[in-house]
Amino acid sequence: MSEPVLVRRRPRWLDVVGVLGVVAMGFTVWLGLWVTPPDVVQGNLARLLYIHPPIATVALYWVGLVAAGGSLLYLWPRTRSLFWDRLAASAVEVGAVFSALTLVTGSLWGRPAWGVWWTWDARLTSTALLLLLEIGYMALRRVPAEPAIRARRCAVAALLIAIDIPIVHFSVDWWQTLHQGGTVLDPGFDLHVHGIMLWTLGLGFLAFSLIFVWLLGVRYQVEVLQDAVGDQELEVSLTERWSEDTELVGVASGDRDPHAGGGAP
Amino acid sequence: MSYVDAGYAVALASLFVYAIGLVLRRRRWARALKVSEVPAPGADGVPGPGERL
């Protein structure tokens, strides 16, 4: 087995990250729902913006960074390791959850703000496409193949999916969209959010990022265990096959043995 | 329930359910690995490649 240590002795830092993520999330919810004042324009609806942009940031940038980076490092011959392949695959699955949540929380904000649950806006459509591509990647990963072939195939797919990330990011600049531009910063890096609202939003970014790291770590462990079980099953099959072959060889050599009986004298 | 409450509830509940699912998957695969572990070839009478009975 290649990486039993990562599975049998779970890294302590991962548990620390998980606990910190839960604590930060608790504070985000408390500040977002009860402490921060209603927005002058949006009223209480602005409270959704303490979770929607952080979720979208994870879905787009953190997942994109890990999935595309891991895939590139796998494809690069000098850094080729199944570690990068497994990390990228884990990021894509966690990313699909965050992409779906981006669409759902955005839709729940859009219904009262825009009057529609969904519109074929460039930002929304490219985000939905990202989710579909991530689901496609997961389907591709389930296609039976040698680990190296599967890894190469998935790395190429992840890099193709990554093309959608700048499209999502720049969609509000490239096309006329219903979705607003930068929520926190405009292109001139002027802040749109201030005071306790800014701190709550910042804490939201931290909370969802920590939760992402924890989910990624646990998902990676699942990936390692799955591969290890696959290796073990292959080993068992080979051992059984070897035993059968050995028995057959024994029987065949027994037939040729003149002292074994049954043969002509 | 307001749109704001629904948004928080959906986001937190989904992440919680996914996290629990991951922990259960990790436990199930760890158990499967333990069950599938076989003695090394050559040990306990298991012949290894190139080894005759």
The answer to whether residue A8 sits within a structural domain is: no
Q: How far is CA A223 from the centre of its chain?
A: 12
Tell me, yes or no, whether A239 lies in a domain: no
Contact A89, A141 (CB under 8 A): yes
Picking from A51, A233, A247, the nearest residue to B11 by CB comes out as A51
Q: What's the CA gap between B38 and A233, in Å, rounded?
A: 9
Three-state DSSP at A39 gives: strand
Question: Which pLDDT tens digits describe chain A residue by residue (265 residues)?
Answer: 444 445 556 789 999 999 999 999 999 999 999 999 988 888 999 999 999 999 999 999 999 999 999 999 999 999 999 999 999 999 999 999 999 999 999 999 999 999 999 999 999 999 999 999 999 999 999 998 889 999 999 999 999 999 999 999 999 888 888 887 766 666 666 777 778 899 999 999 999 999 999 999 999 999 999 988 887 777 777 777 777 777 777 666 655 544 444 443 3
Counting the structural domains of chain A, the total is 1
User: Does residue A124 belong to any structural domain of this protein?
Assistant: yes
Gap from B44 CA to chain A (nearest CA, Å) = 13
Q: Which domain holds residue A91?
A: 15-223
Q: Cα separation of A180 and A11, whole Å?
A: 41
> Which H or E element spans position A195?
helix A195-256
Indicate the residue type of A265. P
Q: Which residues contact A257 (CB under 8 A, 6 or more apart)?
A: A263
Measured between beta carbons, the chain B residues lying within 8 angstroms of A217 are none
Residue among A131, A155, A133 at smallest CA distance from A145: A155
Binary contact (B22, A219; C-beta < 8 A): yes
Q: What's the rounded Cα separation, in Å, for the pair A136 and A62?
A: 19
Question: Which residue, among A138, A181, A142, A173, has the nearest Cα to A157 in the 3D structure?
Answer: A138
At position A119, the amino acid (one-letter code) is T
Extents of the domains making up chain B: 3-37
Is A257 inside a domain boundary? no
